[in-house]
Amino acid sequence: MQGLCSMYVEAAMDALRHAYQAMPPVRAMQVEVEGYQAPWLKLRAPLAANVNDKGTAFGGSLCSLMTIAGWGLLQMRLSLEDLRAEIYVADSQVRYLTPLRSQLQARARLRDDGEWAEFMLTLRRRGRARTQVLAQVDLDDGQAACTLEGRFVAIAVG
């Protein structure tokens, strides 16, 4: 994955940006794709569009941003494999650790990048596969404001 041509990664990120813009809730959150630096897909969203009555980040926005970061990571990686699939979050566990009073900065990665080859083999053979994703929203100092552990499912299409 790290040896991939940056042109392919940028094309996959552009496709991801378009996919996010096609989702009204994601568009309303003003989510931006910050970049991909293996193993992390990084997203951001302004606090002003995701604020609660206390002036901190809305919990629903935090959970949503981490979920769509995980979804986007798989979408991008499947695109790089030239494979189309519908991706769903099957279940997740979220932990809110501390209030966030600044821009939302999320990042997601596979729990075990070494399982990607098995995930792809299963998806190609059976038409569906699942994997674990870890995501978090960071404070300005890099510590986690909240975390998500999720199981995502991909179902091949086409």
pLDDT in tens, 140-157: 998 999 999 999 999 999
Q: How many distinct structural domains can be found in the chain?
A: 1
Q: pLDDT tens across 9-18, in order?
A: 999 999 999 9
Residue 40 main-chain phi, psi, to 5 deg: -100, 130
Q: Is the pLDDT reported for residue 35 higher than 70?
A: yes
Distance in angstroms (rounded) separating the CA atoms of residues 20 and 24? 8
Instruction: State which H helix or E strand residue 79 sits in.
Output: helix 59-80
Using an 8 Å Cβ cutoff, are 36 and 42 in contact? yes
Model confidence at 7, in pLDDT bands (50, 70, 90)?
A: confident
Q: What is the mean pLDDT of residues 45-66?
A: 98
Q: Give the CATH number of the domain where residue 81 resides.
A: 3.10.129.10
pTM, whole model, 2 decimals?
0.94
d(CA 10, CA 5): 9
Residue 97 domain flag? yes
* Total number of residues shown for the chain: 158
Quick check: is 1 in a domain? no
Determine, yes or no, domain membership for 46: yes
8 Å CB contact between 84 and 78: yes
Flag whether 71 is in a domain.
Answer: yes
Domain assignment of residue 100, given as a range: 6-156
